[in-house]
Amino acid sequence: MTVDGLGTPDGAQTPIFPGGAAVSGLRVYDWPAADGCCGGSPHAHLVCTEAYVVVGGEGSLQTLTAHGFQELPLRPGTVAWFGPGTIHRAVNGDGALRVVVVMQNGGLPEAGDAVLTFPPPVLDDPDAYAAAASLLDAHSSHASSEQAARRRRDLAVSGFRVLVERVQSGDVGALEEFYRQALALRADRLAQWEELWRGGAALAAQRTGEQLSQLKLGDIDHLLRAAARVEQAPVPEDRRFGMCGRLETYEF
């Protein structure tokens, strides 16, 4: 029997990560923002639920929805999750906040499911939004500079603070405006997202249904095609600048 680099024997069915989800390691930024908080870039996902499993350090999760603003404590062992539309910001309280992120619909967030809380004029202009969200240094062709990540975070925080103030004053319409701007920015990607969903989360659910049907018939063929898969931890040098911190990403 031969085995590929992932640990999957020839002829076996490569398992989909549970539920078609994705995981990554996150070291939340410890850079201070204008409001004195250290942390990431506020943003919302349009179709994906996200979960944090805190594995080190302490901090908080700031959220904004139509029900208002909340700040939830994060400490080792805490599991927090939030659905589509929840504007969220990870705050690094002690400079050492580390999280395992579990993301629904693996592949969709990487395809632009998240929209940052930039000020409305930026959200209204796709070109301006793309430039503001880019991790290209404005003065060079080199990608993923810390300076660009800080600039992006600070702009998102400025828009987030205005949104919080408006919602807390009773103007829930501010959120509706943000969501409609976010949809307009991503409307041309919906077909791509549907394709990714069908090949990931939807396929995982479909396989479970098929396996249940097979077992009812006494068919154990899928058990005979069982396999395991392993992804090694990314090396520190490969951590990229994410929205909320330095990311350790895995390829599924």
Q: What is the pLDDT of residues 232-248, one digit of tens each?
A: 887 776 788 999 999 98
Residue 208 included in any domain: no
CATH code of the domain covering residue 55: 2.60.120.10
Residue 4 included in any domain: no
Tokens (6 digits) for 203: 């396929």
Q: How high does pLDDT run on average in the chain?
A: 91
Q: What is the pLDDT of residues 17-27, one digit of tens each?
A: 999 999 999 99
How many domains does the chain fold into? 1
Residue 30's nearest CA partner among 118, 81, 90 is 90
Residue 153's nearest CA partner among 69, 34, 58 is 34
pLDDT band at 137 (very low <50, low <70, confident <90, very high): low
90 pairs with which residues across the strands? 61
Residue 221 included in any domain: no
- Per the structure, the complete domain to which residue 111 belongs is given by 18-192+228-249
Residue 198 included in any domain: no
Residue 206 included in any domain: no
Q: What is the pLDDT of residues 197-225, one digit of tens each?
A: 999 999 999 999 999 999 999 999 999 99
Residue 110 included in any domain: yes
Residue 7 included in any domain: no
51 pairs with which residues across the strands? 81, 102
